[in-house]
Amino acid sequence: MQPWTIDDLLCAQRCPRAFYLRARGAGGPRRAAERIPLSLEAARALRGEVFDCTAGEPIPEDAPALWGLHASYEDCVCEADLLVRRENGWELLLDASAYEAREPLVREASFAMRVLDGNGIHVTKVTALLLDQRFVRGEAMDYAAFYHEKDITKRARSFLPKVSDRVAKLNALASLDETPEAVLCENCLRPMECAYWPECTADLPKPNVFDLTGISAAKKLLLYRRGVITFVECLAYGELQHQQQTQILAEILHEPPHVRRAPLEAFLKTLWYPMCFLDFESCQPPVPLFEGMRPFEQMAFQYSLHVVREQGAEPEHREVIVPPGEDPRPALAEGLVRDVPENACVVVYSNGLEKHVIATLAERFPDLRRRLQRMNASMRDLIAPFRSRDYYDRAMNGSCSLKKVLPAVCPDEAEVSYERLDGVQNGHEAMRAYLRAELVDHVDWDETRARLSAYCSVDTLGMVRLVERLEQAVWPNDEGRIPQK
């Protein structure tokens, strides 16, 4: 077996079956936690002279502080953010990447204490580095103001005696001859769907109650425990809204695409040419990267734009992708003003991010404010007819997300297929790719940029195709058109 990490321990605590499958290599390699470790720059700003353990050089015996120490003991392995030598032992500092020291961080500290003690590094104090919600970055990053330190030694020590017992249970669980039984619960779906959910629900009839959209995970589990599983049983049970009823009936009756022509026509008449199809990619780094930013502030680093100047014209593609280390906000603001025609209709899909980004840019760049505010005023949300079920195809599986709608409405168009993309196929992967380029050395930016470009352009070209399909559904004989301004 591989040496266990704190991730393995927390995984087993949530779900023994998920841990067993993870330990056996099911579903791909075991991956590290999402928590971003303390940077070397921050460590030196907080504690002065720090030895970089990742450089591969021998650790000096008198080193005052150790950063990025990778340690193993018996069947466990850990990485310590920062260890500072004290008179009676060592202080362990962990970047919480949060405003509070939550229980998983305390468990991680206890786990690290066991491993470090096995290497002769006796931890006498544990400090959580918490983020200050009120912090606003200046021209230079002030880590002393950004972090506030909280002593969690007592909490970490209280769990320490249980660590060895939990590790023994990991070994016993991983050695089982048979996969533990699947027990469906809230942990399977929160905070996001477990990677092993498809395997654990493989024996359920398809589609089933968990495929319904528009109802909470708790309600789905309640129906499942009451024996309401198939779509027929869900329909008979009642208490469903129009959204779920449309989804169920389309699936049961194998209906063709459901089109409500009058509301679709009303929606299309709110659009006009020239039409710009806009999509941002963004991230929320815990450490503000540039001046004026707060912790976890939404930061767009890219946009894709397809401009259709008149009915039937070929889409013109424009984009801005800002390289790591460069503040993306000026390039995005200037690019939008340059690339979006002043009288254009701006079409987005689920407008929350786009409206927020453009409003933030308008506030930061007063000289561009008028143009940017007009973009928000001219914005139309393409999710609307799909969310309201004015257009519904059962291949959407009840969802109105672009990732479900686009392949359902345009199944044979390779140019707007996410499956053909390499490396980045959704917004989460785009965010991770950018942050990795921003925070990790030796990343091939040209390759990352190409992947980000390909992904984001599928989103915007896909919206072009969706509007074309809606026009065909409403005006099959070309008896109506979106107006030109």
Span 284-292, average pLDDT: 93
Angle at 235 between CA 230 and CA 241, to 5 degrees: 120
Contact 53, 67 (CB under 8 A): yes
Q: Three-state DSSP class for 128?
A: strand
User: Of 322, 333, 323, 331, which Cα lies nearest the Cα of 361?
Assistant: 333
**pLDDT computed for residue 245 by the predictor:** 87
Most distant CA pair in the chain: distance in Å?
85
| Strand ranges (E), 218-322 | 258-259, 275-283, 299-308, 316-321
Give the C-alpha separation, 379 to 368, whole Å: 17
Rounded Cα distance between 174 and 474, Å, is 57
Q: Considering the chain, what percentage of its residues have pLDDT values greater than 70?
A: 97
pLDDT at 470 > cutoff 70: yes
Higher pLDDT, 31 or 68: 68
Q: What percent of the chain has pLDDT over 90?
A: 81
**Cβ atoms of 376 and 383 closer than 8 Å:** no
The SS3 call for residue 304 is strand
CB neighbours of 328 closer than 8 A, spacing ≥ 6? 299, 300, 301, 302, 320, 322
Residue with the larger pLDDT of the pair 25 and 289? 289
Domain ranges of the chain: 6-174, 186-257, 262-474
Q: Give me the pLDDT at residue 243, please.
A: 82
pLDDT at 463: 98
Residue 28 confidence (pLDDT): 44
pLDDT in tens, 309-337: 999 899 999 999 999 999 999 999 999 99
Do the beta carbons of residue 352 and residue 282 sit within 8 Å? no
The answer to whether 458 touches 249, Cβ cutoff 8 Å, is: no
Is the pLDDT score of 33 beyond 80? no
118-132 residue pLDDT tens: 999 999 999 999 999
Q: Phi-psi bin for 63: left (phi > 0), alpha (psi -120 to 50), beta? A: beta
Q: Are strands 258-259 and 391-392 parallel, antiparallel or unpaired?
A: antiparallel
In 3D space, the residue among 319, 327, 378, 374 whose CA is nearest the CA of residue 351 turns out to be: 378
Q: Which residue has the higher pLDDT, 25 or 146?
A: 146
Q: What is the pLDDT of residue 1?
A: 62
Q: What one-letter code names the amino acid at 225? A: R
> Can you tell me the mean pLDDT for 207-231?
92
CA pair distance 465, 402, nearest whole angstrom: 12
Structural fold of domain 262-474? Nucleotidyltransferase; domain 5 (3.30.420)
Q: Which residues lie closer than 8 Å to 391 by C-beta, 6 or more apart?
A: 257, 258, 259, 260, 264, 385, 409, 470, 473
pLDDT confidence band for 24 (50 / 70 / 90): confident
Q: What pLDDT band is residue 439 in, cutting at 50, 70 and 90? A: confident
Question: CA 85, 90, 96, 100 torsion: positive or negative?
Answer: negative
Q: Is the pLDDT reported for residue 417 higher than 80?
A: yes
Output the pTM of the full model. 0.88
Strands 89-95 and 123-131: parallel
- Do the two domains 6-174 and 262-474 of this chain adopt the same fold? no
In the predicted model, what is the mean pLDDT of residues 172-178?
Answer: 93
d(CA 308, CA 306): 7
Give the pLDDT score at 242.
81
Please say if the pLDDT value at position 30 is more than 70. no
List, in order, residues 6 or more apart from 253 with CB less than 8 Å away: none
pLDDT digits (tens, 9 = 90+) for 41-95: 999 999 999 999 998 899 999 999 999 999 999 989 999 999 999 999 999 999 9
Overall average pLDDT of the 264-277 stretch: 96
Question: Per residue in 174-185, is it b (16+ CB within 10 Å) or e — as a string?
Answer: beeeeeeebebe
Residues 320 and 279: beta-carbon distance below 8 Å: no
Strand, helix or coil for residue 457: helix
Closest CA to 50 of 35, 65, 38, 39: 65
Q: Assign a CATH topology to domain 6-174.
A: Lambda Exonuclease; Chain A (3.90.320)
Could you check whether the bond before residue 483 is cis, i.e. omega within 30 degrees of 0?
A: no
Q: Helix count (H) and strand count (E) of the chain?
A: 18, 13
Does 441 score more than 70 pLDDT?
no
> Model confidence over 332-390: pLDDT tens digits?
999 999 999 999 999 999 989 999 999 999 999 999 999 999 999 999 999 999 999 99
